[in-house]
Every structure is written in structure tokens, then in C-alpha cells.
Chains A and B, each alone.
Chain A
Amino acid sequence: DGGITQSPKYLFRKEGQNVTLSCEQNLNHDAMYWYRQDPGQGLRLIYYSQIVNDFQKGDIAEGYSVSREKKESFPLTVTSAQKNPTAFYLCASSIEASGVTSSYNEQFFGPGTRLTVL
């Protein structure tokens, strides 16, 4: 089955530790995204990548890092510099390649990872 997988579903980390969240897709999508969701707030974009080996900061990139070495994978590292990392993290992907705007493009979302800092 095609889709997006995120692991783990729940993650606990001690304050001061880095942690990496996995996102894999087998939809052959060019673009991938990381969002953060906090209670009572809309999804906020952390980083996005429109093509392999390239990525851009979103609205709240501070304290996070990403890599895009393979088309299928877009891991997110939450570093110790992130002041308030406890949140729900969602990964998404879409067909669209860089510089192309299509009215019919759609983002597909993974099941999410809930990160709690102890």
C-alpha cells in the first residue's frame, strides 16, 4: 500500500537531548513537509523540501534540522536548542516539484508522532 509512515507514534525524551523523528513515503512524491501542532493552534510549518538534497526553513525552524538525502525520506531532528519541543509532529508529502503551481495538488499526511519532553 502507498502512503506515509512516521515512527515512532509516541516519543519521550529527556530535556537537553536531541531526537530524530522518521518520515518515509512510497508515493513517489517530490515535496515533503514537517508541521508542528500545539493545542488550540493551527499546524505550523517547520521545514519543507521540494526536491532531493534541498530544503527550506518554514515559519518555526529554530531548534530543528532536517535532511533530504533520498526522495522517500525526510527525517526531522529536534535539537536541544528547541525551547518547547513537546508537541504533535506531522509529516506530509505532495507530488509537486519545485517552481510548479498546480491547483489540483494535494498534501498527504502521515499519522504523526507525539513528542513529550520529560
Chain B
Amino acid sequence: KNEVEQSPQNLTAQEGEFITINCSYSVGISALHWLQQHPGGGIVSLFMLSSGKKKHGRLIATINIQEKHSSLHITASHPRDSAVYICAVRLQETSGSRLTFGEGTQLTVNP
């Protein structure tokens, strides 16, 4: 079993829909990251969380440390949001910023 599990693996939505991507992890962590990977392959960091909630534009990320769960929400989705969204965690027992990654969620937003 992977230490980081994402759901769903694939998600198709219509423009304007509210989207939720989930991430569960099975070990203690010091931080959780949400990343976005576009078709060209480049990866951009969206959020880094250790508690609570963060918002940037139409993106909202939440984390529940007790339940070992995080969600990424996209409000008013747009075709340009189509990408792979990756959850990654920094395990508590590792030094430095070595990350463990989920398999990613492929999001397609249709016009």
C-alpha cells in the first residue's frame, strides 16, 4: 500500500463545476504539498500545508492532521485547470525536504 493515496485517479468536469481532489496518507508528516503538472511535464507548487486551510484565487487546500487527510478544491473550474494534480508529503522521520508522492489525479475540464 502506498504511503500517499489520491482519489480519484481521473476526473472529468464541465466548466464552472466545483472540484475536489482527495489525498490520504498513512504516516506522520511534517508538511503536505499540492503540485500541478501540465501536459508539457513541468511541475508547479500550489500549496504547502502543515495545518488548517490555504486559499489562492480559485484554489483552496485543507488538511486534517488527525484524520491524515487533505483536499484540494477548485471553484468555478476552467479548461485551463486541466492538469495532473499531485499530493506529496514530507515524512516526520526524514530530515531535509525529501518528499513522498501520490500517483496524481488527472483532471480534465471541458468547455
Complexed CA–CA distance, A48 and B95 (Å):
12
Alpha-carbon distance A108/B45, docked complex (angstroms): 7
Q: B35-43, B52-60, B70-78: which lies at the A interface?
A: B35-43
Q: Which residues of A contact B103 (CB under 8 A)?
A: 40-42
Interface range, A side: 20 to 34
Contact of B31 among A31, A88, A103, A112 (CB under 8 A): A103
A25 at the B interface (CB under 8 A):
no
Taking the complex as formed, is B21 at the interface, i.e. its CB lies under 8 A from any CB of chain A? no
- Count, chain B residues at interface, CB 8 A: 27
- Name B50's closest neighbour in chain A (CB-CB): A103
Cβ contacts B71-109/A at 8 Å (1 or 0 each): 000000000000000101010000111111111100000
Q: Tell whether, in the assembled complex, residue B95 and residue A101 are in contact, meaning their CB atoms are under 8 Å apart.
A: yes
Q: Tell me the residues in window 84-106 of chain A with beta carbons closer than 8 Å to chain B beta carbons.
A: 88, 90, 92, 94, 96, 98-106
A interface with B by C-beta (< 8 Å): 31, 33, 40-45, 48, 50, 58, 88, 90, 92, 94, 96, 98-112, 114
The 8 nearest A-B residue pairs measured at CB: A42-B101, A109-B43, A112-B41, A43-B101, A105-B97, A94-B97, A42-B103, A111-B42
